[in-house]
Amino acid sequence: MDAVFIIGIFLSFFLFLLLLRKKGKSLPDKILAFWMLVMGLHLLNYYLYSLGFWIRYPHLVGVGAPFPLLHGPLLYLYTLFSLRPQSRIRYRNYLHFAPAALVYIYLSRFYFFYSAEEKALLDMGAMDDFALFTNLVLVAFVVSGITYPVMAYRLLGNYRRLVDANFSYNDRISLNWLKYSIWWIGLIFLVVAVVTLLREGMGYEFGFNVDLVFYLMIVLFIFGLGYSGIRHQDIFSDNPGKENIRIVEPRAPGEYKKSGLDSDTAAASHRALLQYMKEQKPYLEPKLTLGNLAQSLGLSANHLSQVINQFEGVNFHDFVNKYRVEEFKNLASDPLMKHFNILALALDAGFNSKSAFNMVFKKHTDKTPSQYLSELNA
C-alpha cells in the first residue's frame, strides 16, 4: 500500500509540474495543475498521518482538514472552463472555495494557539473542542461531493448539444474521458457519504481501515487522469495552433422569432442548402463544421443553424451524417465497391473513424453496418 501512495503522490506532483511548465497554458491547464497539487498534498498529508507523523509532530494535525472541500469546486471549474476555453475566471468563481477558506479561518486559533500536547490530545479524542465543527465539515464535504459532480455532469450535457450544433464529427472533441472522471469522483464522494453515515451516524465499526479505500480510489483517479492526458495531447502538451472556430449556441425553435431571417429567405436558403449538399457533397469532408458550410453558402452560421433546425428538424451533426449514411449505402450497393471493407467504405463516405461510423449508422438505421450488408447481400 505504501508503494501505491508514493506513486500517487509522485504522479500528482509530476503532472502539476508538467502543466506548470507548459507553454501557452490555458485556464483549464492552470486549474488542473492546481488540482493535481491539491491531490498530491492531500495524499501526502494522509500518508504522513498513516506513518505516525502526527504523533511525533502534533503541529501537523488538522493542516489538511479543508482539502476534501476543494475537490468538488475544482472538478466543476475545470469542467466549466474546459467547455468554455475562451472564458475568463471571475470573482464569483472564487466563492466556490469559501467553505475551505472558512475552515482554515475557524481553525486558525487551533493552529496558532493550541500547544503540541493539546493538539495531540485532540487528535486522540481526549478533547472534544471541535467535535461539532468536525461533524459540520463532514456534512459540508458530503453535500459538496454530491452537488459538484451533478453540476459538472449537467455542463457536459450542454457541451454535447454545442458539439452537435457545430460539428459533423466528435473525434478529438469528445469529452467522454471527462464524463468518466466525473462519474469516478462522484462514486468516491458517494462511498464517503455512505461510510460517514454508517460510521459517524450509526456507530458502525468496519473491520479494516476504510479510509484507505477512499485514498486508493483517489490514486486510481490520478492514474486515469494521467492516461487521459497522454491521449488528449491538447491538454498536457503544447498546441499553440488551434483553429479559431465560430461557435453557435443551439436554440429552441421558438427562439428564432427575432433572428432577422424572414420565412421566404429561410426557405430559399434551405433549397440552396439541399442543392449544395446534393451537387457538391461537402459531407465527404470528415471535419466539416457549421461555419465551413455556412461560408460556402454565403450565410451566417447562426442563420444556417436556424435553417437546418427549422426545416430538417435535426441538429447539424445529424443533418450531415444522414448524408454520409446514404453515401455509404450507395457505395455498398455498387458492384465495383464489393472488394472494399466496411471501414474503407465508411471513410469514403466522409466518416473519420470506425467507432464514429458504427454509432452514427446504428442511430440512423437501427442496424449495425454488418447487419445491413448481410441483408443487402442476402
Residues 125 and 164 in one domain: yes
199 shares its domain with 100:
yes
Task: Let me know if 198 is exposed, middle or buried by CB neighbors in 10 A (0-12, 13-18, 19+).
Answer: middle
- The pLDDT of residue 25: 77
Give the pLDDT of residue 364: 92
The count of structural domains within the chain is 3
Per DSSP, 21 falls in state T
Could you tell me if 262 and 134 lie in one domain?
no
Cα gap 337→341, rounded to integer Å: 9
174-211 confidence digits (pLDDT tens): 667 778 888 888 888 888 778 877 876 677 787 777 77
**Lowest-confidence segment of 131-135, 179-183, 240-244, 338-342 by average pLDDT:** 240-244
> 168 pLDDT exceeds 70?
yes
Please check whether residue 216 is in contact with residue 4, taking contact to mean a CB–CB distance below 8 angstroms.
yes
Judged on CB neighbours under 10 Å (0-12, 13-18, 19+), 357 is: buried
Contact by Cβ (8 Å): 280, 274 = no
Instruction: Report the pLDDT value the prediction gives residue 239, as an integer from 0 to 100.
Output: 46
pLDDT at position 283 is: 94
Residue 10, pLDDT above cutoff 50: yes
Q: What is the pLDDT of residues 51-89, one digit of tens each?
A: 888 888 888 888 888 998 999 999 999 888 877 766 788
User: Which has the higher per-residue pLDDT, 316 or 188?
Assistant: 316
Which of 183, 204, 236 is the endpoint of a domain? Answer: 236
Count other Cβ atoms within 10 Å, centred on residue 169. Answer: 23
Per-residue pLDDT at 93 exceeds 90: yes
Same domain, 175 and 251: no
Q: Pick the residue with more confidence: 146 or 320? A: 320
306 and 226 both lie in a single domain: no
- Report, as an integer, the average pLDDT of 312-330: 93
**Is 355 found in the same domain as 267?**
no
- Is pLDDT of 173 > 60? no
Structure confidence at residue 250 (pLDDT): 65
Please answer whether residues 188 and 145 qualify as being in contact, where contact means their C-beta atoms are separated by less than 8 angstroms. yes
| pLDDT tens per residue, range 105-131 | 999 999 899 898 888 888 887 777 888
Q: Which three cell numbers stand for residue 301?
A: 452560421
Residue 362 binned pLDDT confidence (cut-offs 50, 70, 90): very high
pLDDT at 58: 87
* Residue 134, pLDDT above cutoff 60: yes
Which has the closest alpha carbon to 103: 54, 137, 61? Answer: 137
Residues 278 and 325 in one domain: no
pLDDT, position 223: 80
Residue 45 belongs to what domain range? Answer: 2-236
- Please give the residue that has the higher pLDDT: either 372 or 378: 372
Query: What is the Cα–Cα distance from 47 to 35, expressed in whole angstroms?
Result: 18
CA quadruple 45, 47, 51, 53: dihedral, nearest 10: -10
Q: Pick the last residue of a domain from 293, 313, 333.
A: 313
Residue at 233: amino acid letter: Q
pLDDT digit string, tens, across residues 248-258: 766 665 555 55
Residue 15 confidence (pLDDT): 87
Asked if 205 and 252 sit in the same domain, the reply is no
Q: How far is CA 338 from the centre of its chain?
A: 41
First to last CA, the chain: 58
Q: Are residues 333 and 273 located together in one domain of the fold?
A: no
Q: What is the pLDDT of residue 278?
A: 94
* CATH (domain of 370): 1.10.10
**In the prediction, which pLDDT does 238 show?**
44
What CATH number corresponds to the domain at position 45? 1.20.1070
**What value does the mean pLDDT take over residues 217-222?**
84
How far is Cα 341 from Cα 150, in angstroms, rounded to an integer? 42
Q: What is the pLDDT of residue 1?
A: 65
With 50 as the cut, is the pLDDT of residue 244 above it?
A: no
- 289 Cβ neighbours under 8 A, 6+ residues apart: 166, 167, 168, 245
Other residues' Cβ atoms within 10 Å of the Cβ of residue 367: 13
pLDDT value at residue 272: 95
Mean pLDDT score across all residues of the chain: 83
Same domain, 257 and 341: no
Domain match, 158 and 262 both: no
134 and 24, same structural domain? yes
Asked which of 284, 313, 342 is the last residue of a domain, the reply is: 313
Residue 276 confidence class, pLDDT cut points 50, 70, 90? very high
Cell triple for 88: 475568463
Q: Is the pLDDT of residue 241 over 60?
A: no
